[in-house]
């Protein structure tokens, strides 16, 4: 029996080859980036033969797509939970969704990379688009609730506000949440995001300016 055959038997023992390959891919994208490994390396890490992944996936991109789809489902659940469990105020719910973004990136780096850094054509994949829309619908709903107090003629589109906060959250993750905390800034990522949101909302007149 060859070494690959022995690995394959160990891999099939857990009973879910497809998920084992996704899990292996998540580890590899954290270690090397979404383009830094081959299908054969994903198979090796999953403990199966080099040809086994092709029973479920045509290539590396399809494994990454599945990892991203699972990530967006988890992300949407987390965003919905953050919104529903926040104190009953528009501002608190809005801030909670921003913090949930940082929490997800920190806890699930492999999923985060496949979702936002792998260059997937999300609009061309109906499953990815559906889960992406569900996740960011929560942030847009929080934005709608928050800007409802503004005069209609001065009210920006809720989707623009949610995209601004998405961009700010993503920037904090990319610049300050990777690697060893405190090596790039003396401030915690959560504090950077909270202060950034505060400045943004003060500019819109949604919260009072500090004296």
Domains and CATH numbers, the chain: 3-57 (1.10.10), 65-204 (1.10.357.10)
Question: Quick one: angle between helices 90-107 and 189-204, nearest 10?
Answer: 150
Query: Which two structure tokens, joined as six digits, stand for 134?
Result: 């569900």
User: Higher-confidence residue: 135 or 9?
Assistant: 135
pTM score, whole prediction: 0.82
Q: Cα–Cα distance between 53 and 59 in angstroms, integer?
A: 8
pLDDT band at 51; cut points 50, 70, 90: confident
pLDDT at 170 over 50: yes
Write the pLDDT tens digit of every residue in 106-163: 999 999 999 998 888 888 888 888 888 998 899 899 999 989 988 988 899 999 999 9
Query: Which two structure tokens, joined as six digits, stand for 125?
Result: 């994949």
Q: Cα–Cα distance between 73 and 87 in angstroms, integer?
A: 24
pLDDT at 85 over 50: yes
Top-confidence range, 11-15, 158-162, 175-179 = 158-162
Q: Cα–Cα distance between 24 and 89 in angstroms, integer?
A: 41
pLDDT band at 179; cut points 50, 70, 90: low
CB 184 within 8 A of CB 174: no
pLDDT of residue 31: 92
Percent of the chain beyond pLDDT 90? 38
pLDDT at 183 over 60: no
């Amino acid at each position: 029996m060859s070494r690959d055959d022995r690995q394959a038997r160990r891999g099939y023992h857990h009973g879910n080859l497809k998920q084992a390959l996704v899990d292996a891919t998540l580890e590899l994208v954290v270690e090397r980036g979404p383009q830094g490994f081959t299908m054969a390396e994903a198979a090796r890490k999953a403990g199966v033969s080099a040809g086994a992944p092709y029973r479920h996936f045509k290539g590396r991109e399809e494994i990454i797509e599945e990892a991203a789809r699972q990530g967006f489902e988890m992300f949407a659940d987390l965003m919905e939970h953050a919104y529903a469990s926040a104190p009953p105020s528009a501002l608190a719910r809005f801030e909670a969704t921003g913090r949930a973004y940082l929490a997800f990136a920190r806890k699930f780096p492999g999923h985060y990379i496949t979702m936002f850094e792998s260059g997937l054509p999300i609009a061309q994949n109906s499953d990815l688009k559906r889960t992406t829309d569900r996740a960011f619908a929560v942030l847009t709903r929080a934005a709608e609730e928050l800007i409802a107090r503004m005069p209609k003629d001065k009210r920006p589109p809720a989707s623009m506000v949610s995209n601004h906060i998405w961009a700010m959250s993503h920037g904090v993750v990319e610049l300050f949440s990777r690697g060893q905390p405190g090596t790039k800034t003396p401030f915690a990522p959560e504090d950077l995001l909270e202060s950034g949101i505060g400045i943004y909302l003060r500019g819109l007149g949604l919260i009072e300016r500090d004296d």
